[in-house]
Amino acid sequence: MIVLVQATVLTVGLNGNGKNEILRELPIRLITMQSGTEAARSLKNEKVDSVISKWDLDDMEDGRFLKTLRAVKPEIPTIAFVRAGDRAQEIAARTLGVSAVLTDDTSDELFRQTVANVLGLKGILSIKAIAPAGNKKSHYEIEKITE
């Protein structure tokens, strides 16, 4: 894929749900962490444009990582993933002032569009190189990320 990187995104706790694979299609540099403690440490050394995190992490429950992040760096756009059907988590995340709240069962397309909107990636193209079969020439597939 030939893409100019538009942003650096840190994901926390999303391993295993397939969302990181969707993010790899976007023109971003992706940093993935599984624990809130590890992510907090990386934020000291990395310039991050956005954070996408589960509300409950193995080492930081009840949104503690996102609450700390919003207190220390409120200018960073954040997307919170809450448990589907858990109104208390959704209300707490919205009250915190995150940029978007999604549930674990959010469709891949809605997730992709939400991330693109939060990062301001509207109208950006992704160009994928398709490997040739046999001795044929390579061809390219151009895909608009959002409308």
Tell me: the pLDDT tens digits for 50-98? 999 999 999 999 999 999 999 999 999 999 999 999 999 999 999 999 9
Which amino acid, 133? A
Return the percentage of the chain with pLDDT > 90, whole number.
54
pTM of the complete model? 0.79
- Residues 112 and 125: their CA atoms lie apart, in Å, by 13
- 16 pLDDT more than 90: no
pLDDT at 127: 45
pLDDT at 132: 52
What six digits make up the tokens of 120? 């301001």
Question: Angle 18-65-59 (CA atoms, 0-180°, nearest 5)?
Answer: 75
Crossing angle of the two packed helices 87-96 and 64-72, in degrees rounded to 10: 10
* Superfamily (CATH H level) for 7-144: Response regulator (3.40.50.2300)
Q: Which tops the pLDDT comparison, 54 or 142? A: 54
Extents of the domains making up the chain: 7-144
| 26-40, 49-63, 111-125: segment of lowest average pLDDT | 111-125
SS (H, E, C) 64-107: HHHHHHHHHCCCCCEEEEECCCCHHHHHHHHHHCCCEEEECCCC
> In this structure, what DSSP letter does residue 107 have?
-
